[in-house]
Amino acid sequence: MVDGRGRMGGYGLGPGGECVCPKCGYRMTHPRGIPCYKQKCPKCGELMKRA
């Protein structure tokens, strides 16, 4: 796979990325263009952070 930009390093996640709840550890994918910190954890209601 040649991407030409070297964006493959480290994460191995989809293009949308993943968010993680800092409180309970719940992980979820999020759509592109919506930052994690605008989403709330469905389990505990805490704001998500970037995984």
CA 27 to chain CA centroid, Å, is 8
Applying CB under 5 A, among 24, 35, 40, 50 the residue interacting with Zn ion is 24
| Interaction between residue 47 and Zn ion (CB under 5 A) | no
CA atoms of 22 and 37, how far apart (whole Å): 11
Binding part of the chain for Zn ion, among 8-16, 32-40, 42-50 by CB under 5 A, reads 42-50
E-only strand ranges, 1-51: 18-20, 27-29, 49-50
Q: Choose, by CB under 5 A, the member of 26, 28, 39, 47 that binds Zn ion.
A: 26
| Residue 34 is a binding residue for Zn ion (CB under 5 A) | no
